[in-house]
């Protein structure tokens, strides 16, 4: 299943992409491979196709969550995040914990990354 999917797509293999293409629930994949996509790809001898999100990429996760929030106009549920997000909800869970903690981290990120208000310089007067 994994090698057939890998032969069909170029580049890194993600759990989200694999589960969607093979019509397998991510939960079922995690039951068989608790180490996630990394363990699955190691078992299939496809480690060169692992898509990694390093520790420094929390910003990318938050940017994608922000995109989903803006698309929905509200905070997403796990199902909405699975359907619309580029990353698995499990990735968020591994980084921040439960849904409420992810939302709290998102709100902090949003405040820290809010665009500054437009500053209009005072009009200059000429004598």
> What are 25-42's pLDDT values in tens digits?
888 888 888 777 777 878
Question: How far apart, in Å, do the first and last CA atoms of the chain sit?
Answer: 79
Instruction: Say what the pLDDT of residue 70 is.
Output: 95
Are 2 and 44 in contact by the 8 Å Cβ rule? The answer is yes
Quick one: average pLDDT of 79-94? 85
CA dihedral 72→77→80→86, nearest 10 degrees, is 90
Instruction: Say what the pLDDT of residue 101 is.
Output: 93
pTM, whole model, 2 decimals?
0.52
Q: What is the pLDDT of residues 42-80, one digit of tens each?
A: 888 876 666 655 544 788 889 889 999 999 999 999 889
Residue appearing with tokens 């910003």: 59
Percent of the chain with pLDDT over 70: 81
């Amino acid at each position: 299943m994994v090698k057939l999917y890998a032969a069909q797509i170029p580049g890194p293999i993600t759990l989200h992409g694999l589960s969607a293409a093979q019509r397998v629930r991510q939960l079922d994949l995690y039951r068989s491979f608790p180490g996630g996509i990394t363990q699955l790809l190691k078992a299939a001898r496809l480690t060169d196709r692992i898509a990694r999100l390093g520790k420094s990429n929390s910003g990318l996760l938050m940017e994608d969550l922000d995109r989903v929030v803006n698309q929905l106009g509200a905070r997403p549920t796990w199902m909405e995040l699975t359907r619309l997000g580029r990353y698995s909800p499990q990735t968020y869970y591994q980084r921040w914990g439960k849904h409420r903690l992810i939302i709290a981290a998102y709100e902090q990120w949003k405040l820290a990354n809010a665009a500054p208000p437009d500053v209009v310089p005072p009009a200059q007067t000429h004598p």
